[in-house]
Structure 1
Amino acid sequence: MKPAVWPIAALLAGYPIWWALGLGGLSIVVVAVPMAVVLWRRRPIKVPMGMGLWFLLLAGYAISAVTLAANPPGTYGDLSTGRILGYLMRLAIYVALAITVLYLGNLTLDELPQLTLVRLLGVLFITTVAGGLLGVFAPGFQFTAPVELLLPDWIGGNSFVKNLIHPTAGQVQHVLGHASPRPEAPFEWANAWGSNISVLLVWFVVGWWTYGGRWRRVAVAVLLPLAAIPIVYSLNRGLWIGLALSAAYLAFRWRPLVVGVAAALAGGALLLSPLGAIVGQRLDNPHSNDIRAFTMASTVRAAATSPVIGYGNTRNAYGNYSTITTGKTAWCPTCGHPPLGSDGQLWLTLITQGLTGAALYVAFFLGAIRRYWSDKSPIGQAGTLVMFLVLFYMFVYDGLVSALSLYLISFALLWRNAAQRQAPRRARWAHE
């Protein structure tokens, strides 16, 4: 492997190590440093079409720092260390993601073949399945990471930071009316695990089945049924809908009959297994709907008071959907005032960067779909599917931190694929 490729290989193949160190989601910021060095040595730097929208999003977020001390109506809180930390962490991640896209696009295909990058994402899928199974069968597994030991309490004790640096296998919640595990390893929380496995599944199938030899295809045949266990136990309706949308997309763009038969067989096997009962119970217990409706409506109202630059970070709302008084109790130590923007990247962008930021975020991924839709190759179709999933998940999942890394790497794959297709055409024109 070429030396310049090590940062992305270390990020994807080495993710379990980052997670164990307490740097799982933040590993993108760490590896962005050597990526930036590689870019600096390769000037002038190629920039993909549409990347200007991400730079504008980044610039807008930098400007939103001026409103960190303000509180929109219906929210409370002082300009605390936690609010500043959250802002700086998100800013660092946005910068690191931009560096990652430019780094991947400026590596040559000889240094980093497309298939190598796709298969590295497949390795992370295997890690995610393993972490999901750990979360199902040992949800209480957790440990203190080295990063936690090094950080002072005023940083490590912040709830947002602790979610990122403290390795846990799963969350035990009462979604079904009784204690049930929801896997999250090796990511920061259960919803992140849900969105990430659906994106990684796309690349795993492309790299290990479509372009795979016999042993890789055997691995796919073994791992997909195993992945169904944590996918069902995640109780994650957004993930389930995302998988259904993926099947519909493939049926539309690929082979409707093949995809339809495969989906019917998978659905029949699920319903006939014990996992089908869990799906039914989850659909009968939509306990989070009222909470989501309250926070979304509150987020929109708050964003309307600063529509151009937002408020830089999330805010806590007064009350919840049923009462004006909420907080921690002996039986619910994690309860409290709901943070605005916590129910999806669209809502997070609205509260942090206003309507302008939300429009730029949507335009960035919509532009990628429009630009690369004509790419009929497996990588092109898979990348476009991921862009669709991003636009769906923004309503239900917070993209920060690990999910956005996968979204932007998928964008870089599309950009690299387009450049690979155009290279022979340019060579032919030069010859003529």
Structure 2
Amino acid sequence: MRGPAWPIGALLVGYPLWWALGFGGLSVIVLAVPMGVLLWRRRPIQVPRGFGLWALLLAGYLVSALMLAETPPGTYGELGPGRVVGYGMRLALYAAVLVMVLYLGNLTERELPQLRLVRMLGVLFVTTVAGGLLGVLLPEFSFTSPVELLLPGWAGENAFVQNLIHPTAAQTQKVLGFSLPRPEAPFEWANAWGSNVSVLLVWFVVGWWVHGGQRQKLFVAGLIGLAAVPIVYSLNRGLWIGLGLAVLYVIVRVGGRTRVALCGAVTAATLAFALSPLAALVAQRLDKPHSNDIRAFTVTATVAAAGHSPFIGYGNTRNAMGNHRTITTGKTEWCEGCGHPPLGSDGQLWLLIITQGFTGAALYVAFFLGAIRRHWRDRSPVGLAGVLVMGLVLLYMFVYDGLVTPLSLYLISFALLWRNSQRSDV
């Protein structure tokens, strides 16, 4: 893409290259630099309503650094390079997405047409489906990225950093009582893949179905059918619930012939799925909610630890003493499940509570709730889709971490709503 909009094209269309280099979700931090330069050159800068909440969230995270060396009751660990690096990455990401939203909102429709931005998100959806299929067909696929080669050894040993810089096709986990790969390429975790594919699907439909011709609609239908394979194999209940609620939302908010056609399409798709081999896998997953006990333990421990620093949190995650099965800390030969789960790892809400206290969590919720309230009356395709994504953000915060790539997609969706309101005000 030429002109001042090139950084967003490099981020969305060029994402597979970033992933292969080892930047992946960190690419938005790199590209925030040219975005910031472009913003500085076109002062004064327009700011969306409600964005002060995000600025306060960022300011609160800066203050939370004061607690990095503290160890709340029920946790263990000392301040080390890994904790500091993790804090720094999250801080850089929060700042980068702030710059990205301002950059997108200050580009004119001529510099970056709204439909072009939506369709670039659709291109990333195609990439995500391809990565999901790679995870299903070649789950062991992985390689050492250039970034991984350049980083010092201690950085590569940090689990959080390792997931960001080491490209893999899938996460292998014991979910149904035996090891099964869950697609994650080209993102950092299987849960990130689940969150991202649902958000990108929304924009893919808007860009290539709603605003597409007959051939494009056939392509959309075929690709969504293909996407069902990695979506089911992801064994991701949060994703499945999100997609179900998204369909219900659209049926309720659209009217007339569109609603009738959509109900018919959903019925046909449901019947086809029920007759396919994928239905049995979904039934097995619903019968084995293996992560419920783990999540209950970490959420309870997170809230308890945050109670000792309720306003500014602890700046980063902490490891719990023991887990939901035992007070033993760390894996042993006789207890492979005796790990030390990091608090705040089961959803963005819990991550904010441990890192920034209940204040940070409240600011995050208020930011996305405010976006829904302001744009609810926008019944254009972008308006309906953007409000839907804001709703998915509030759903997913209970089960998915927003860091790293999901947060970028959430804020791009916010920027699309803001740009849409600017056009309606002209």
Q: Indicate conservation of the 8 Å contact 1:22/1:167, yes or no.
A: yes
Task: Report the alpha carbon displacement of residue 12 of structure 1 after superposing the two structures with TM.
Answer: 0.2
Cross-structure match for 1:268? 271
Cross-structure match for 2:77? 77
Matched, 1:307 2:310: yes
Cross-structure match for 1:345? 348
Give the Cα separation in 2 of the matches to 1:80 and 1:386.
37
Matched, 1:9 2:12: no
Q: Indicate conservation of the 8 Å contact 1:2/1:111, yes or no.
A: no
TM, length-normalised to structure 1: 0.96
- How many residue pairs get aligned? The number is 423
Give the Cα separation in 2 of the matches to 1:186 and 1:163.
11
Task: Report the alpha carbon displacement of residue 283 of structure 1 after superposing the two structures with TM.
Answer: 0.3
Cross-structure match for 1:228? 228
What's the CA shift string for 1:329-388, capped at 9, x where partnerless?
Answer: 459879620100000000000000001000000000000000000101000000000000
Cross-structure match for 2:52? 52
Cross-structure match for 1:381? 384
Give the letter aligned to residue 22 of structure 1: G
The 3 A distance-change label for structure 1 pair 110 and 330 is: farther
The 3 A distance-change label for structure 1 pair 334 and 293 is: closer
Give the Cα separation in 2 of the matches to 1:277 and 1:361.
38
Secondary structure at the residue paired with 1:25? helix
Q: Indicate conservation of the 8 Å contact 1:319/1:325, yes or no.
A: yes
Give the Cα separation in 1 of the matches to 2:191 and 2:261.
30
Cross-structure match for 1:117? 117
TM, length-normalised to structure 2: 0.97
Q: Indicate conservation of the 8 Å contact 2:32/2:96, yes or no.
A: yes
Matched, 1:97 2:100: no
What's the CA shift string for 1:311-334, capped at 9, x where partnerless?
Answer: 000000101112101423459879
Secondary structure at the residue paired with 1:161? helix
Secondary structure at the residue paired with 1:360? helix
Task: Report the alpha carbon displacement of residue 303 of structure 1 after superposing the two structures with TM.
Answer: 1.1
Cross-structure match for 1:258? 261
Give the Cα separation in 2 of the matches to 1:228 and 1:286.
21
Give the Cα separation in 1 of the matches to 2:12 and 2:234.
22
Percent identity between the two aligned chains? 70
Matched, 1:216 2:219: no
Q: Indicate conservation of the 8 Å contact 1:32/1:96, yes or no.
A: yes
Give the letter aligned to residue 61 of structure 1: Y
Secondary structure at the residue paired with 2:25? coil
> Structure 1, unaligned stretches of length 5 or more?
424-432
Aligned positions of 1:244-255 closer than 5 A? 244-255=244-255
Secondary structure at the residue paired with 1:48? coil
Matched, 1:401 2:399: no
Task: Report the alpha carbon displacement of residue 275 of structure 1 after superposing the two structures with TM.
Answer: 0.2
Secondary structure at the residue paired with 2:302? helix
Give the letter aligned to residue 281 of structure 2: I
Q: Indicate conservation of the 8 Å contact 1:139/1:183, yes or no.
A: yes
Give the letter aligned to residue 387 of structure 1: M
> Structure 2, unaligned stretches of length 5 or more?
none
Cross-structure match for 1:279? 282
Cross-structure match for 1:412? 415
The 3 A distance-change label for structure 1 pair 334 and 280 is: same
Cross-structure match for 1:426? none
Aligned positions of 1:118-267 closer than 5 A? 118-255=118-255, 256-267=259-270
Task: Report the alpha carbon displacement of residue 157 of structure 1 after superposing the two structures with TM.
Answer: 1.9
Cross-structure match for 1:430? none
Q: Indicate conservation of the 8 Å contact 1:318/1:324, yes or no.
A: yes
Give the letter aligned to residue 373 of structure 2: R
Give the Cα separation in 2 of the matches to 1:38 and 1:319.
49
Task: Report the alpha carbon displacement of residue 114 of structure 1 after superposing the two structures with TM.
Answer: 0.3
Give the Cα separation in 2 of the matches to 1:245 and 1:112.
31
Worse overlay, 210-219 or 403-412: 210-219
Give the Cα separation in 2 of the matches to 1:86 and 1:240.
30
Task: Report the alpha carbon displacement of residue 397 of structure 1 after superposing the two structures with TM.
Answer: 0.2
What root-mean-square deviation, in Å, do the aligned CA atoms of Structure 1 and Structure 2 show?
1.2
Give the Cα separation in 2 of the matches to 1:332 and 1:111.
58
Give the Cα separation in 1 of the matches to 2:338 and 2:224.
35
Give the letter aligned to residue 145 of structure 1: S
Give the Cα separation in 2 of the matches to 1:331 and 1:205.
49
Secondary structure at the residue paired with 1:26? helix
The 3 A distance-change label for structure 1 pair 105 and 331 is: farther
Secondary structure at the residue paired with 1:324? coil
Give the Cα separation in 1 of the matches to 2:265 and 2:379.
21
What's the CA shift string for 1:113-147, capped at 9, x where partnerless?
Answer: 00000000000000000000000010000000000
Cross-structure match for 1:298? 301
The 3 A distance-change label for structure 1 pair 6 and 253 is: same
Q: Indicate conservation of the 8 Å contact 1:209/1:216, yes or no.
A: yes
Give the Cα separation in 2 of the matches to 1:385 and 1:244.
12
Cross-structure match for 1:427? none
Q: Indicate conservation of the 8 Å contact 2:118/2:206, yes or no.
A: yes
Secondary structure at the residue paired with 1:260? helix
Task: Report the alpha carbon displacement of residue 271 of structure 1 after superposing the two structures with TM.
Answer: 1.2
Give the Cα separation in 2 of the matches to 1:335 and 1:181.
22
What's the CA shift string for 1:197-256, capped at 9, x where partnerless?
Answer: 000000000000000123322220210110000000000000000001101110110144
Worse overlay, 175-184 or 357-366: 175-184
Give the Cα separation in 2 of the matches to 1:361 and 1:383.
17
Give the letter aligned to residue 344 of structure 1: G
Task: Report the alpha carbon displacement of residue 156 of structure 1 after superposing the two structures with TM.
Answer: 2.0
Give the letter aligned to residue 268 of structure 1: L
Aligned positions of 1:21-40 closer than 5 A? 21-40=21-40
Cross-structure match for 1:421? 424
